[in-house]
Structure 1
Amino acid sequence: MGQDVASRTFTGEDRQRYRAKVRQCLDVFARMLGEARFDVERPLTGLEIELNLVDGGFDPAMRNAEVLEVIANPDFVTELGQFTVEINVPPRPLAGAGATDYEAQVRASLNAAAAAAEGIGTHIVMVGILPTLQEGHVTVESLSANPRYALINEQIVAARGEAVRIQITGRDRLSTQSDSIAPEAACTSAQLHLQVSPEQFPAYWNAAQCVAGAQLALGANSPFLFGKELWAETRIALFEQATDTRPDELKAQGVRPRVWFGERWITSIFDLFEENVRYFPALLPICDEEDPTATLERGDVPRLQELRLHNGTIYRWNRPVYDVVRGKPHVRVENRVLPAGPTVVDVLANAAFFYGVTRTLVEADRPLWTQMSFRAAEDNFHAAARDGIDAGLYWPGVGEVPATELVLRRLLPMAHEGLQRWGVDADVRERLLGIVEGRCLTQTNGAAWQQRALRHIEATSDLDRTDAMRELLRRYVRGMHSNRPVHTWELDPDEG
């Protein structure tokens, strides 16, 4: 969940100083945009995957500190809950066999990490929400030891001033509350990064917003929470509610939520950072010693630490990122829509679809976002989160159609064309996008497989819901380790 910070108490003076500093950073960022100081020579893609930890009985294992110690790989870091970790995959270009290289690298890293974790009786699972997770697993005591998480929890709870309520209705109904943000730890995602020029950024961000609904429909993998069957991608509703700083009165006044789809198409990356500064009070008002104006004027690259820290506490589903790598600044789109899993190859298929479709949309003669209301894109996003691969989605020139029909007839050809423009090898395109096609033809993604598998288990055994979830996860983990696309899994792999 972002940069590490030290534990501390904040004063009113801290907040005033931080507000002034973050606005100074915003002014410097505007100057940098005007002076074209960004690294745009070799656009790169990046990938982060959040992972769950379970014990031998497939229940959450609160052991991330121990697991990270035995993994001993700096690419793996803590996440919000003690039962989660994250792998940060080094960025690389897509061209040629770049996606295949990604797959090999991620599989090798995860296999090595899994072997190390198993040495201490812990297993790594790549899934949007652990089916075996119960309310007792997500309390303030289950937060990771990193002081950043305690500070964010304190600030969100203080801003809200009351318990966090979580209400989600799907096949079952969940109504509960928490005195911390710990339920958010249930949400584990696969985050895609795309480095672009500042000039291209608004088109790529708008395109990412347009395609977010289709991404979720194809990739949903979080149908269960606390033993209940809810949305196909329950992670979306849970994240939006678990980190909401607004009591009902502020919601009624139209105050924006910190987990945010947005509210308009943009014409500059500056629009998003300016909204962040204008609409959202600081959660972590920590000032850096750097004077960004002086740094810029002497010809160096400012870190803009306050702006970056503030941006990291506003959880847009497509987030703008400013970063400095090897002394060069760049901007990128961070796509946070997708859940983790089910397999590495499924994650890479989701990535190929995203990178391909957005490239084609960006280079279209008439931008799609000039033909589609922003509200329609947001409605698609939540419809897909709720209904997954069975969702109906709106698309200009087509109207509302089943998500699978939209993908097969419109979006898959765009994805092929876009990947070709990225220079992706033909056999790589065919393999990864063939997985997307297979999901549509079988009406099966991770969420659909989990839902069908649970019903199969409950119909063919005497297990109660808790034990049925453990059996579901056992079968899921077996499929995950096979690296076969989820739409090809049997409901009972022991019979396959």
Structure 2
Amino acid sequence: MTDLAELVARSLEAATREEFDSRVREQTEFLYGQLDEGALDNEGFAIGLEMEVYAVAGQRDDSERTVRPTEASRLHQIPGSIFEDTDAVSKELGLHNAEINTDPNTFDAAGLDAQATAIEMETRKARAAAGEENCALVLDAMWTIPPESGTVEYLSATTDLDGVRLATNMRTDPRYVAIDTDLLERADGSIELSVPGVERSFPSILLESLATSIQPHLQIPQTEDFPEYYNAAIRTMGPLVALASNSPFLPADLYSEVSDPERLLEDSHHELRIAVFEQSVNVTPNPKVRVPSDLDAVTDVVDDVREDDVVAPFLSEWLDAGSGSEYTDNYWEFEHKRGTYWRWVRCVIGGDPVEGAGDERSVRIEYRPLPTQPTVTDVVGLQALTAGLIRGLVAADHPITDLPWDATESAFYAAARDGPDAELAWVTADGERTADRDEIFSEVFEYAKYGLDVQGIDDGASYLDPIRARWRAETTPSSWKKTRVREHIQDGLGFSAAIERMQREYIRQSRETDSFAEWL
């Protein structure tokens, strides 16, 4: 079956949900058995990365044989040819989005070097492929220069296909359309966005395509240890988001009649990406995008997905999937459901084999709260910081998991709101509770470096230093953006015009510098 409208209609049928739930229950029993038998244990740690980007229109620079954004560049849809020219680039929700992936590597010196090289090379290849269509890819956490049609028009445009309403600028992937249809029905036909300075309604979850992120992955070799690493990872989210914040503004034309721009600048979240994602899809009885609960046992990761609200269920035979040739085919419907288990940290079961670190039967942490960064160096630095910190905290038997879960949640949302100035929460190596940012970040970098050392990465500091520079300067990409907008307003520009000018400066600098540290 390939007809999109029919797939969406069948996904919404009660009979489908009943059969889907039955298969998920059966497949959880398979996964319990795999965990009990140690079938998901592996030889060592492994790392990987996903990086989302968006596109703007570009102009060919024949002298450098490249395509660059111009002062007139606006949001641009990514040509389909880019996905044909490189296997490392995959489609995302919006027609203007793409995701660049690395194959996993062992978590050691050679593996981290391979990750850095891969993300650099794949980004170059993706940019070259996009450039063939006068399109330029941007490393950023949220697009703010709207297309010619305007943001509201772009995100609200719909077409009808045999009774199914499609968001015109969303990819017509059956899964995306089914999720959009299901969530929109639950939301009574309107997705609401409410953040400082903007109150809007949209007829689609395409709103979520405003935001782009990076997702470092860390494979844990012994499944019985997984809860310890997972619970530690949750407690790192506040400090790491505070260091990474990069989305303080929505598209410029969403702001109208700003009577007090200085107040709005102060109130705007450093990571609006968090609010946008949560508000675009949290319409089920139990919010699907949130800080996850702690794990008591590794089997909790199976239970959590099984008990999660069902959205847009598919059956494997509809897509000629689940043939048995892949390990994940043993739990196809479970894996489909996990795809909408949108916690800020989640477990992934199964994956690609990694020489020296195991086969496709594995468990790994997918770390989801971080925004896309200005440069590849910054992206790799955050990948090293994230994996190193989680590994280092557990290897050192650090008491970080003594931090109460509710304090962890509060710190995460404080970081999303206030960036580097957030009121954070931490437990020190001595077991003392602290909110002192210098004390917190000192341990964050100390234990990240320790984690890299434990994995045999002697030059770990070279990866961490670009991110460490932010702590020392008390500046992140989001605070840089806020400062630039403030300066442009003081020079006489309106709020929206100041955002556009800042964004063009950001795009230029992100392409011309090696790391954000050079902007400080």
Q: Take 1:64 and 1:82, find their aligned partners in 2: how far apart are those partners? A: 8
1:233 aligns with 2:304: no
C-alpha distance 6-189 of structure 1, shift in aligned 2 (>3 A)? farther
Q: Which residue of the partner structure matches residue 87 of structure 1?
A: 100
C-alpha distance 258-112 of structure 1, shift in aligned 2 (>3 A)? same
Q: Secondary structure, in 3 states, of the residue corresponding to 1:225?
A: coil
8 Å contact 2:182–2:311 — kept in the other structure?
no
1:181 aligns with 2:205: yes
Please tell me the residue identity of whatever aligns with 2:34: M
C-alpha distance 448-487 of structure 1, shift in aligned 2 (>3 A)? farther
8 Å contact 1:272–1:320 — kept in the other structure?
yes
C-alpha offsets along residues 397-442 of structure 1, whole Å, 9 cap, x if unaligned?
A: 554535354102x21111111110011122xx12122222210111
C-alpha distance 328-93 of structure 1, shift in aligned 2 (>3 A)? closer
Give 1:288 deviation, angstroms: 4.8
Q: Which residue of the partner structure matches residue 244 of structure 1?
A: 282
Q: Take 1:265 and 1:95, find their aligned partners in 2: how far apart are those partners? A: 28
8 Å contact 2:183–2:311 — kept in the other structure?
no
C-alpha distance 226-135 of structure 1, shift in aligned 2 (>3 A)? farther
Find the partner of 1:47 among 34, 46, 49: 49
Please tell me the residue identity of whatever aligns with 1:454: V
1:124 aligns with 2:137: yes
Please tell me the residue identity of whatever aligns with 2:368: R
1:201 aligns with 2:234: no
The equivalences for 1:276-295 within 5 A come to 276-288=305-317
Q: Take 1:441 and 1:325, find their aligned partners in 2: how far apart are those partners? A: 38
8 Å contact 1:152–1:283 — kept in the other structure?
yes
The equivalences for 1:259-270 within 5 A come to 259-262=289-292, 264-270=293-299
Q: Which residue of the partner structure matches residue 362 of structure 1?
A: 394
Please tell me the residue identity of whatever aligns with 2:205: I
Give 1:6 deviation, angstroms: 8.8
Give 1:192 deviation, angstroms: 0.6
Q: Take 2:177 and 2:138, find their aligned partners in 1: how far apart are those partners? A: 25
The equivalences for 1:326-405 within 5 A come to 328-365=360-397, 367-369=399-401, 371-396=402-427, 397-405=431-439
Find the partner of 2:117 among 104, 115, 119: 104
Range moving further from structure 2, 397-406 or 304-313? 397-406
Please tell me the residue identity of whatever aligns with 1:385: A
Q: Percent identity?
A: 27
Q: Which residue of the partner structure matches residue 262 of structure 2?
A: none
8 Å contact 1:117–1:124 — kept in the other structure?
yes
Please tell me the residue identity of whatever aligns with 2:245: A
Structure 2 unpaired stretches of 5+: 59-71, 157-166, 256-264, 354-358
Q: Secondary structure, in 3 states, of the residue corresponding to 2:475?
A: coil
Q: Secondary structure, in 3 states, of the residue corresponding to 1:142?
A: coil
Q: Which residue of the partner structure matches residue 441 of structure 2?
A: 407
8 Å contact 1:98–1:424 — kept in the other structure?
no
Q: Take 1:5 and 1:94, find their aligned partners in 2: how far apart are those partners? A: 44
Q: Which residue of the partner structure matches residue 58 of structure 1?
A: 73
C-alpha offsets along residues 309-360 of structure 1, whole Å, 9 cap, x if unaligned?
A: 1011110111111125467411111001101111111111111111111112
Please tell me the residue identity of whatever aligns with 1:33: L
1:223 aligns with 2:236: no
8 Å contact 2:375–2:514 — kept in the other structure?
yes
Q: Which residue of the partner structure matches residue 271 of structure 1?
A: 300
8 Å contact 2:56–2:135 — kept in the other structure?
yes
Q: Which residue of the partner structure matches residue 250 of structure 1?
A: none
Q: Which residue of the partner structure matches residue 486 of structure 2?
A: 455
Structure 1 unpaired stretches of 5+: 247-254, 491-496
C-alpha distance 267-147 of structure 1, shift in aligned 2 (>3 A)? same
1:76 aligns with 2:89: yes
8 Å contact 2:101–2:119 — kept in the other structure?
no
Q: Which residue of the partner structure matches residue 451 of structure 2?
A: 418
Please tell me the residue identity of whatever aligns with 1:168: V
Q: Take 2:311 and 2:131, find their aligned partners in 1: how far apart are those partners? A: 40
Q: Take 1:331 and 1:235, find their aligned partners in 2: how far apart are those partners? A: 27
Q: Which residue of the partner structure matches residue 144 of structure 1?
A: 171
Task: Give me the TM-score of the superposition, normalised by structure 2.
Answer: 0.83
Q: Take 1:452 and 1:60, find their aligned partners in 2: how far apart are those partners? A: 23
C-alpha distance 260-123 of structure 1, shift in aligned 2 (>3 A)? same
Q: Take 2:101 and 2:6, find their aligned partners in 1: how far apart are those partners? A: 22
Q: Take 1:154 and 1:233, find their aligned partners in 2: how far apart are those partners? A: 27
Please tell me the residue identity of whatever aligns with 1:488: E
Range moving further from structure 2, 52-61 or 210-219? 52-61
Q: Secondary structure, in 3 states, of the residue corresponding to 2:377?
A: helix
RMSD in angstroms over aligned alpha carbons? 2.6
Q: Take 1:289 and 1:416, find their aligned partners in 2: how far apart are those partners? A: 47
8 Å contact 1:5–1:148 — kept in the other structure?
no
8 Å contact 2:381–2:466 — kept in the other structure?
yes
8 Å contact 2:104–2:352 — kept in the other structure?
no
The equivalences for 1:12-51 within 5 A come to 12-51=14-53
Q: Which residue of the partner structure matches residue 252 of structure 1?
A: none
Please tell me the residue identity of whatever aligns with 2:411: N
Count residues with an aligned counterpart: 464
8 Å contact 1:187–1:235 — kept in the other structure?
yes
Q: Which residue of the partner structure matches residue 190 of structure 1?
A: 214
Q: Which residue of the partner structure matches residue 288 of structure 2?
A: 258
Q: Take 2:112 and 2:493, find their aligned partners in 1: how far apart are those partners? A: 41
8 Å contact 1:18–1:306 — kept in the other structure?
yes
8 Å contact 1:244–1:257 — kept in the other structure?
yes
Q: Which residue of the partner structure matches residue 251 of structure 1?
A: none
Give 1:208 deviation, angstroms: 0.7
